[in-house]
Structure 1
C-alpha cells in the first residue's frame, strides 16, 4: 500500500506542471470516434481491446505460473510489439480509441435502479472520453499489463487485479489509470471510503479529468461534506468554465454550506463567462448582485457587477445604473476608476494638448498634471447628477480647471435645492487641490441661496477658504457669524476662530470664545474655588475622627445605594427609604450638570487649559484645570461626602462614586469596565481622549510640586480625587501611577490613613520587598485611627514566618497598650528569629511599659526582665550610638538619672555609623541625646550645663 500514499506528495504545484502538458483535442471527433460505451458492450469491447494488444496469451500464463519473471515478461512484450509510434502520434484519436483503452477515465457511479445484492459485484464500468495528460500516460507495455488487470477485474478476480495495479504503480507512480482500477475494485467490494482515496489519487495525477472530480463531488455531497464537495466542484469547473449546469450546482452547494459571499462571486463570474441572453436580463442580475454585495460591505464586487453588465451590453444601461456605480466608486475614493467608467460608458472625452484622445490605460501617468490636458467634452443631454459627479471626480484628480465654467453654470437655485450635498463636495474637492479662488466663487453662490445660506458647513467652509487665501478678516467674520447667529455650540468653528485669533496675537479675545460657561446648562450652582476647597479639607482633617451622626449618614447612603432591592423590616426602614429618595434626587440633579456630560463644553475647557498653560498665566491654568478635572467629583460626592472621597475611607463608597462618574446612566450598564469603555469612546469621539486628561492631570501635579510646601494640601487633594476619575480607572498603569502619587503626597503631608489604604491594595504585589513594609510602617505611624489593626492581625495569622509583618504588628500592639498580648507575640517571634536585635528591643520596651502600669503585681520582676532584654539587645547589636541611646532612654524613663546621663554622654562621645557624611547625617543621634541630656541637667538644677550642651550640639 506504500504506492498508494506516494500520491500525497502532489500539490498545487504538481497540478500546474500537469496542466502544462495538456493536449488540445477535437471533442467532436472524439465523440464521433469514441462516444460512450454502453454497459452491454463492455465485455465485448474489452476482449477485442485485449486481443488487439496481446499477441501471445501464453506470455501471461507463463508469468502467472512463475515460469518467467516480470522483467522477462516486459522484455518479450517489447520485442513482440509492432505498433508504429509515429503513426500513433499523428492520429491520436484513432490510436487511443483502438489500442489504448486505459486512456479513458473510468468513472464508477452507483446505479439508480434497485439491484439484487448478489449482483452488486458484477457491476460494469462506464468508459469516458477525455484524454489523459502526457505525464499521466502509461508506457505501452504497462498499458497492456493494465489491460490484464482489467480482465481480472471483469472476472471478479480482485486480488490478481489489485496486485497488478500495485506493480504498475511501483513502476510508474505518476500514472492515474491504476488508481482508477483500484477505486473500481474498492467500490465493488463495498469500501467506498477506500474508493474515494484511490479516486482522489487519480484526480491529483490527472487534474484535467473532469469526470473524476464530478464523481468525488457526488460522493462528498451524498456524505453532506459540503466544503469538500465545493472544492471538488471548483476543480471540475476549472476544466470547463462554460459549463453552466456545473456552475449552478456549485452555487447551490455554496448556499447550502452557508457561503453566501462565494455564491455571489460565482454568479458575478458567470456574468462575464456566460452572459444573459438580453441586456435587460443582464442588468437585472447585475443590480441584484450589486445590491447584495453592498449589503455585505463589499463595494468592489458591487462595482464589478455593473462594469460587467456595461461591458456586455453598453447600450442597455440606464442613468440610475451609472449613478449607482459611480456613487460606490466615489465612496471608495476610486476617482481614476470612476473617470475610466465615464470615458468608457458615459460618452466623456478628454483631449490632450497634442490633440490625442485620452486613454486611461495608456495615459494614466498624465493625470497628475492638468497642463497636459486641453479640454473635456461630454454629451449635452447627460443627467445633472452625472455631470456633478463628473465635476467632482475631475476636481479630485486635479483636472477641475478644465470645467470651471460648466461647474459655475450648474450652481443654480434648482440644482442647489436638489443637489446641495454634491455641490458642497465639489467645493471641498477644489479646496483640497488648493484652488481657493474657485472654491470661494462657488461657495459664495451657495451663500446667496435661501436653501444653503443657513448651513453651518457652508460658512465654516467659506471661512477656511478665506483663511487659506490669506483673507483673515473675512475668515473671522465668517466664524463669528456661525458662533453668534447659527450655532454657538459648534466646536470646530470656535476652535478655528480661536486658533486664528492666537495667530494674530489676540489671546484675550481667543480666551473669551473658549469660555465654556456660556454653553453649560442654566441652573448650575457656581463651583467654589480651588483655595476654598482645600481650606475646607484641611479644616475637616484637623478635627477628630468622624462623628457618629456623620457616620450614620454615610452608612445609610452606602446601604441604600448598594442594596437597592432589599427590604428592611425594622423601625427606621421608612426613614432610610425617604433618605434614599432624597439622595437619588440629589444625584440626578448633580449628574445632569456634570461638565463631562456636555462634550462641547468639555472640549472647550480642555483647549482653554492648554492655552493658559504658560508661565505668565500659570495661576489661571491651575484654576481652570482643577475645575475641568475635579468639578464633577465635587458635584457627585457633595459636601457631606467630600472627606470620604479624599481619605478613601470606604471602598464601597469609592466604587459607587466611580460608577456614577463613569457613565451617564449607571443602570444601563452591567460592569464598571463597560462604563469606562463607553466613556472613553465618547470622549475620544468628541476630541478629548483619556490620554489628554491624564496628561493634564500630570501637568497639574508638576505645577503643584513646584510650589511645595505651600501647595501641599492641593497636591494631596488632587492625587486623592484623581483615583476616582474614569480616565484613570480605565487604565492599569495610570491607576497604579495615581496610587503612588497619592501615597507620596499623603506621607509628605503626614496623613497616614490615605497612604495605608492605598498600600493595602498593592500588598499582594509588593509584600516580598522590605521597602514596601518600611513605607507601610511609616503610614501606620502617621495614621490617626485604628483601621490597620485588623489588617495586621490577619496578615500575622496567615503568615507567621514573615519577620516584617510580625515586627510591625507587635509594635502596633505595643502602641495600642496591649502589652501582654504584644509580649506573647514577640516571644513567639523570637523563638523563630533568635538573632534579631529589634525583637529583643521591643520585648524590653514591652516589659518596661508594663512596669509603668498602675495595676501590676510586681514592678521589680518586669523591670528586671526589661533590663535583661536590654543587655541581650546590646550583645546582639554591638557598640553603637543606637544601643546606648535606647539604654539611656530606658534609664531616663525609670528615673535612674545618673545612668541615663552616663549613657547619653557615651552617645555624644561616639561617631555615627556611615561611610560618608550623607550616611552619617541619617544615623547621627547627637542632637537627640544632647536635647534629652539638657532636660536632665535642667531638671536637676544645672541650667548652665544644659545651656552648654544645647549650644554645643543642638544650635545651628
Structure 2
C-alpha cells in the first residue's frame, strides 16, 4: 500500500515537472545562476556583448564536460571502491544503500541511476529521487514567491515598470533558476524600449524553459530586427527545432539564414531535414539542390533531385527537371541531360512540345556530343522569339558554341543580342573579342576592348589585353597611351590611378613597350622602383613569415617549462640557461601546436570566468609571451620569377644599367634577387650569377659582386678562366674583402690538387713582401705541374727576391736556383719575347747587367707583330651580350703587348749608367719615339 502511494506521488510530481519544463532532458544541464553567477549582472554584461548566445554555448559546453567527468569518476568509484563480492551483493540494493556505500552526493544521483541501468543491473528504487522532487516542488510552490510574482505582473499591467522591476529582481535573487520572472523582466524592458536587455532576459527564460518554441522564435526574430549577429538567431532557431522537430517554418527560416551567411552545406542539410518529414515538398528539394550546387557538391545535388523525380513524379514538375539538366551540364554529363529531358517529355509533355528552355538545353547537349543537325533543330525556335524575352537562352547557346571553338556559330547567336540593351555590357564584349581573336580579326577585338575601357577605365585585364594587341599590330604609341598613368592628377583620378597604374602586370608591359621603342631612360624609370619593391617584399616575407629555421634557446626553455616532462626544472635555474635533456628539447621543438591549444583553452577559461563575474587569476606568468610572433604578410606584386617574360625584363634592366655604367645599382638588384628563396628562381640563379660576374669584372667592385664570382669558381673549380676572373675582381677592388681569405682556404682544402688557389696564395704573400711564404706555395704548385712555364717563372722570381734578403746565409745558391727555374721557364716558353724580357729583367735586378744587355737585345731583335692580350671574357658562363664585350674589343690596340719599348728603356738605363750616353740616346730614338 505504501508503494502505491509512493507511485501516485511520483506520477504527480513528474506531471508537474513536465508542466513546468523540468521533466525534459534539456533541463539536465543546469545553468550556474545563483551563488556562482548573478543573473542580473550577467544580463547587464551581456548587453555590451555583440553575441550573448556564445556565453550560453560556453555554459553548455562546460556543463557537458563536468557531467562527463562526474560520470567517469562515479564509474571508477563503483568499479574500484568495493570488492567484487560486495558489488555482487548490491544488485538488489536501493539507491540510498548505494549512495551511502559509495559516499555519493545528491547532485550525482541522476548520473548514478543512468549508469546503473545502462550496466544492466535493473531498475532501482526512487526514494531518494522522491525526496529531491518533493523539495523542488516545495520550493517552487513557495507562497511568498508566488505572491510577489503576481504583484509584479500587476505592476506591469498598470505600466508601473519601476516597481515591477524591483519586485522581479528580488524574485530572481530568491529563485534564480525560475523562468517566469525572467520572462516578465523581458516584457518590462521591451515595453521600456530596452530591446537588447529584453532579449537577454528572454534568453535566460528560454534556457530555463527550453520547450517553449514560441519564445525561441521570438528571440530569433528580435535578434534580426536589432541587427545582432545572425549567429544568435541561428542558435535560437536550432534550439526551437530541437524542441519541436515537426515545425517546418523554423527549418525554413534556419535554412535561409544559413544561405545568407554562405553556409551552403548546413543550409542544404536543413532543407534535407524538411524533406525527411515532408518528402513531397518540391521547393525544399530544389533549394537543397541549389545549396549543394553552391557548395560544389554536384553529385549530392543531383541525387536529391533524382530521388524526388523517381519517388514522387506526380508532385514534381518541369522546374525540377530543368534544374537537374543544369546540374548535368555543369558536370559535363551531356548524355544524362538528353536522357533526363526525354524522360520528362514522356511524363509531363505527352503529346506536346518541350518548353523552350528544356529544348535549348537538349540542343546544347546534342551539340557537345557532335549531333550538330539535331542541335540546330532544337535551337531554331530561338529565332522565332523576341530576343529580349529569350536573351538568356541565346547567351547560353552562344557560350556553348564558343566553348566548343565553333566561333562562327557563336558569332551568329551573339549577333542576335545586338538590339538587346541590357545585354550590351562588358561580359558580352569580352566574349565577342575572344571570338574575333580566334578568327584573326584583331581590329574588331581592339574596338571592343576600347569600349570596355571607356566603360570601365580601371579594368586592368582589358588594358593589358588591348596593349598586347596593339603591340602585335606594331602600334607602340597607342599601346603606350593605354598603359601610361593619366596626366591629370586631380582627386577624381587618384583612385583609378592607384587601382590600375600601380599594378605589376601593367608596369611590366609598359616597360616592355619602352624597351621596344628604345626609350631606355623611361624604361629604367619604370622598372627600377618596381623591381626594388618586389624583391624587398619577397625578402621581408621569407624572413618574417617563415621565421628562423632553428628556435632560439629562450623559446625552447619557455616551452619546456610548460611541458609535463619539464616539471622538474626549477624556476630558480631558468635564468642560468641550463642544458635541457635531449628528449625535452626535442618535445619542446615540436610543441607549437600543443601550446597553441593550451593558449586557446586558457582563453576560454578566462572568458568563462569573466562571464560569471569573477576575477581571472592565472597560475602562469603574468607576462604573456606569444607562442608565434605574428607578422603581417605584405601583399606581394605579381611574381616576376614565375613568368619567363617578366624575368627577361628584369635581366634587360640589369643589362641597360650595365651599359650605362651603373654597375652598383645593377649588382644591388642581382644580389637582392639571389636572396629571394622563390621556388621558381632556383633554375634561373645561374643566369643571375653569370650576369653579376661579368658586371663585377667591369665594375671592379668585389664588395657587391664577390658572391657571383665566388659561385662561378665553386661551379668550375678547375677552370683557369674562372679563377682569372675571380682574382682579377679581388685585385681590382678598392676595398678589402673579408670573405676572400676564408673562401680561398676552404677551396684549397677541398681541392688539394687544384693549382689556381695555391698560386693565388703565393701571390698574396708576394704582395705583402714575404717571398719565403710565396716560395712555399709556388713549390707546392710546381710539384703538381712541373712543366708549367708560369709556375717556373713564379718560383724563380721568388727565389731571387728571397736571395736579396739580409738574413739569408746561402744567398749565392738561392740565386743560382732562381735562375735555373727562370731558364726552365725560358725553355718552356720557346724563347718568346716575354721570356727574354723577364730573364733580362731578372739579371738586371741582381746586377748582372752584361747578361741583361744580351737578353734585352734579343727582345729588341724580335720581329714586330701584334700580341693581343688573352680575352678573359670568353667563357661559357658569360651571357651578358655584346654591349660590354664590344668596348673590350675596341680597347685592343695594335702592339699593346709588344715589349720592345720597355726593353729599350731599361737598356738605355744600363748604357747611361755605364757612361755610354750616345748609345743610350740612340736606343731611345730607335724604339721609344711616340
Coarse TM-score class (shorter-chain normalised): 0.3 to 0.5
Give the TM-score normalised by the residue count of structure 1.
0.44
